[in-house]
Structure 1
Amino acid sequence: MSDTIPAVESDAGRTARLLAGFLAVAIVLIADQASKHWILYGLDLPQRGSVAVLPFLNFTMVWNHAVTFGMFGGVGRHGPLVFSTISMIAVLALLAAMWRARKLWIAIAIGAIAGGAVGNVIDRLRYGAVVDFLHAHAFGYSWYVFNVADSAIVCGVIAWAADSLFSRPTP
């Protein structure tokens, strides 16, 4: 048996992680909404349909009335409210997880996921669908059309999953 006392987390450490997590929420949310505003009103992509940006990237306008990869698209006119409600419940769970996060980068990853989810909720409530416009394609393959919020969610989930898979448990 050890005579050492388990380390007690400092309030400063938790505060720093929470600030970083909420900063990630804000950065993702601002970048997502600003990019969508520019796509809709600056570039006028709904009228243009698709614009080649690079040999492997187009801006292609898609109104996503469903969820990831078009799943659950048959919910009907209540879809935006149903999907928004579920998303905001998930955001609350993410914020609770961010509060418990013991690593700075996990708090940031969770913040990115939450910021992306809120960005897509804003679209659903404002437009009735999510604004998707990034269309990557290469070597004869065309990916789904997505947005900045989706990218932040995927990157955050990958970081969080990698930590879960490859980190040693803390005593």
Structure 2
Amino acid sequence: MTSLSKGDKAPEFHGLNQNNETISLETFKGKKIILYFYPKDNTPGCTAESCNLNDNYQAWLAKGYEVVGVSPDSVASHKKFADKFQFGFNLIADTEKEILQAYGVWGEKSMYGKKYMGVMRTTFVINESGIIEDIFEKVDTKNHTDQIIKALDIK
């Protein structure tokens, strides 16, 4: 569970995207961002979430939002994932888990009674001034766009 809250300044970040380009919070200064953290490329939930956001990417752009995904996968893994599903947005490779830790989404998880460290699927909506407008910790992977639109009352 993240320690960040609505109204907090979003932590600065930088990392390489699927095209080996450096992307940072500063890259999107003056734009609203849907910054989503997901566990792993090409897994069912992560694919559903990413495809849902991508299927609505043009609508997000029209509403003034940029979409950025972050996971601990490599640039090469992101490239394959983005190419396979033709994502129009950036996927940042956070192999050192620096961004994940800054946003408080790297932590202990549990599956079948086993505890392990992993990404807690979370989405942050950040406004043009770099302030967190909303946080989604219970992500509806197949309907994430609708979930965000309803919560923020976006027309």
TM norm structure 1: 0.27
> Comparing both structures, which one devotes a greater share of its residues to helix?
1
Q: Which has the larger radius of gyration?
A: 1
TM norm structure 2: 0.29
